[in-house]
Structure 1
Amino acid sequence: MDTFSTIRARGMTKSFGDVIALDGVDLDVTQGQIHGLVGPNGAGKTTLLGLLLGLAVADSGELDVLGTRVGRALAAPDGVAGFVDGPGLYPSLTARQNLAALAALRGHDRRTAGIDEVLDQVGLTDVADDRARGFSLGMRQRLGLAAALLTRPRVLVLDEPSNGLDPAGTKHVHGVLTRLAADGTSVVLSSHRMDDLEALCSEVTILSTGRVVFSGPLTELAPGSRELDYRLRTSDPQTTRRLAAARGIRVVDGAAPRHDADLLVVRALVPALDELVVSLVQSGVALRELAPVVSPLEAAFLALTEHKEAGR
């Protein structure tokens, strides 16, 4: 499938009084891409999502969505749907009635609006006739996603879509977003959950104090020049310690639970860690677990945003 740019922002700025929320932000999202927005509280993520949804207009800069320049009117660009700060719902109405009301507001016939289809997509068929006031946070998030899907958007903008979801709900929503992207929908999502972003996104933009400090593929955040801590579980911890020390890899004592004797936490560069794994295999030591204590995305996020905050 040929892809094209569905979102192109250049030099976007937005201030609220004396507070600069966005300061020269660029953003590129291609068709069928799931693009993550990452940043500490107050970094400008919600403001940027609001601009994409037509809830606010930029003070300066250019924003093209689906090939059309976004003007000064407060209106969602055609083909764009989503929510910021949680979906707006009528608590006294059922899930089905909420979607029917939304369809009616848009001039659609509830009988042909695809309500049952989107409820099934987000896994709410069994509670379709329950009132929204009794929904958990995760169920409300899923209903908000269903409302966005009613318009069959070509660009979907979501703020913390996995907020309040249990593991099964998270897996379900991930499946929905992955299928939408495979069918050509572009998804822009903000999340504080690095595992969500790493599971879903091909590219991320990291914001700090209203500015972009990184934008690109997740693979470019690989910690090639930084030591990270890794959980390392093997069949022979003593031999593992010896082989690690021989390669200058430090075991971080006290970092692993005392009751888990097979688990070590080691601090290493990726090349040294690769050599250790080869040595373990050659020595007949079984490798049972190897995972970063902090994900590469989270490590990069902390390094980039802490550096930016320190230089303010």
Structure 2
Amino acid sequence: MDTLLAVRARGITKCFGDVVALDGVDLDVAQGRIHGLVGPNGAGKTTLLGLLLGLAVADAGHLDILGTPIGRLLAAPEGVAGFVDGPGLYPSLTARQNLAALAALRGRDARTAGIDDVLDQVGLTDVADDRARGFSLGMRQRLGLAAALLTTPRLLVLDEPSNGLDPAGKKHVHGVLTRLAAEGAAVVLSSHRMDDLEALCSDVTILATGRTVFSGPLGKLAAESRELDYRLLTSDQRAASRLAHDTAGVRVVDEAATWRGADVLVVRAPTPALDDLVARIVRDGVAVREVGPVQSPLEAAFLALTEQEAAR
């Protein structure tokens, strides 16, 4: 059975005067999945998010959202919610009053709109009656997410939702997004935080200069043939270095690097060669205390792909 798509975009082009913001972009976002959208500043991410939210229309291409073809009108179909460039809030109103005002705009009774529930979901119950003007950036982001949740979205579009979040706030936001996807909603998440994307997303699209340079499952970015830099902390760094020099497919990058106060060995290798090196180290009686990428697979792929695009 074909995967049900919340978003299907083909050849989307958007220009602002002589500036081409999006240049023939394709995008598939499956229902029940969290889809990451990444790229350097000016890549076209905000423009694409605006199209998904009905804040702009494409100059060319075809866009279906929740099964509805999107035409030339500034509108998104029912079931789409989110924000771009931060949520719009009334600073003089409390968190609860902001949500009540939004519910009223949608013709709903604030008493039955589920305001207390969404405030609890994003961890703002204790400040529900505080004015939004005193909120930190992270609290405003969470209130914006609560506003989106009031609509029970089938497609949630978020721009940098982790901005300003402390660990507790991040836990609340991650929990909400994971639950929504498990319940069948699609989430499009734009972020510069690679750790957030790797923790949450099953699929990712990388944009550079308005073009798609990668789109697909996150695991494809960490393909076994791709070389990455890894740091190794062992009980005998000299022995580990000797074995690294002798292992096919492994290149020693730094024999005297420091990581969190400890001396580590940095090597560059594809996954199979790294696995072979670790096995040889263990067989040699050396304890492997830590092994991990210097850069995450997503961050490494992002930098490589965007640098390639910029060099064209």
**8 A Cα contact 1:252 1:267, kept in partner:** no
1:82 and 1:258, CA in 2 relative to 1: closer, same or farther beyond 3 A?
closer
Distance in 2, matches of 1:255 and 1:210, equals: 37
Q: Which residue of 1 aligns with 2:232?
A: 232
1:65 aligns with 2:65: yes
Are 2:155 and 1:155 equivalent residues in the alignment? Answer: yes
Give unmatched runs, 5+ long, in structure 2: none
Give 1:294's aligned amino acid. Q
Partner of 2:257: 255
Partner of 1:302: 303
User: 1: CA distance between counterparts of 2:139 and 2:3?
Assistant: 33
Q: Distance in 2 between matches of 1:208 and 1:54?
A: 22
> What stretches of structure 1 of length at least 5 have no aligned partner?
none
Which residue is equivalent to 1:209?
209
Residues 85 and 217 of structure 1: CA distance in aligned 2, closer, same or farther (over 3 Å): same
| SS in structure 2 at match of 1:86 | coil
Aligned equivalent of 2:77: 77
- Partner residue of 2:270? 269
Aligned to 1:117: 117
**Per the alignment, do residues 241 and 81 of structure 1 end up closer, same or farther by CA in structure 2, a change over 3 Å counting?**
same
SS in 1 for 2:12: strand
Corresponding residue for 1:293? 294
State the TM-score, normalized to the length of structure 2: 0.96
Q: Shift in Å at residue 259 of structure 1?
A: 4.4
Moved more, 168-177 or 222-231: 222-231
The corresponding residue for 1:135 is 135
- Is 1:174–1:200's contact at 8 Å kept on the other side of the alignment? yes
Cα displacement (A) at 1:255: 3.4
Match of 1:309, SS state, is helix
* Corresponding position: 1:169 with 2:179: no
Structure 1 pair 258–116 and aligned structure 2 pair: CA distance change class (3 A): closer
What is residue 42 of structure 1 aligned with on the other side? 42
Find the aligned partners of 2:146 and 2:246 in 1 and give their Cα distance.
55
Partners in 1 of 2:284 and 2:130 — Cα distance? 60
Distance 1:302 1:114 in 2: 42
d(CA) in 1 for partners of 2:232 and 2:166?
Answer: 27
Q: Would you say 1:146 and 2:146 are equivalent positions?
A: yes
Q: How many pairs does the alignment contain?
A: 310
TM-score by length of 1: 0.96
Using a 3 Å threshold, how does the CA distance of structure 1 residues 134 and 2 change in structure 2: closer, same or farther? farther
Residues 238 and 195 (structure 1), Cα distance of their counterparts in 2 relative to 1, 3 Å cut: same
1:206-239 Cα deviation digits (max 9, x unpaired): 1111111110011111253443211211122122
Report the Cα distance in structure 2 between the residues aligned to 1:257 and 1:149, rounded to whole angstroms: 41
- Partners of 1:62 and 1:175 in 2: how far apart? 33
1:249-303: CA deviation from partner (whole Å, max 9, x where unpaired): 3141453259423x22222222221111111222232222111111111111111
Code of the aligned partner of 2:276 = E
- Which amino acid counterpart does residue 122 of structure 1 have in structure 2? V
- How much has 1:61 moved relative to structure 2? 0.9
2-side partners of 1:219 and 1:213: how far apart? Answer: 16
- SS state of the match for residue 123, structure 1? coil
- Gap change, CA 1:287 and 1:253, over 3 Å in 2: closer
1:224 and 1:32 map into 2 onto residues whose CA distance is 27
1:102-147 deviations in Å (ceiling 9; x for gaps): 1111111000001000001101111111111111111100000000
- Taking a change above 3 Å as real, the CA distance of residues 270 and 107 of structure 1, as seen in their structure-2 partners, is same
Aligned-residue RMSD, C-alpha: 1.6
Single out whichever of 56-65 and 229-238 deviates more from structure 2: 229-238
Give the SS at the match of 1:204. Answer: strand
Whether the 8 Å CA contact 1:241–1:251 is kept in 2: the answer is: no
Q: Residue 15 of structure 1: CA displacement? A: 0.4
For 2:5, the aligned partner's letter is: S
The AA in structure 1 aligned to 2:85 is D
- Whether the aligned pair in 2 keeps the contact of 1:249 and 1:272 (CA below 8 Å) is no
- 3-state DSSP class of the match of 1:58? coil
SS at match of 2:309: helix
Distance 1:67 1:130 in 2: 39
Work out the CA distance in 1 between the residues paired with 2:180 and 2:238: 48
Whole-Å separation in 2 of the counterparts to 1:8 and 1:35? 13
Contact 1:33–1:187 at 8 Å: present in 2 too? yes
Amino acid at match of 1:138: G
- Whether the aligned pair in 2 keeps the contact of 1:79 and 1:153 (CA below 8 Å) is yes
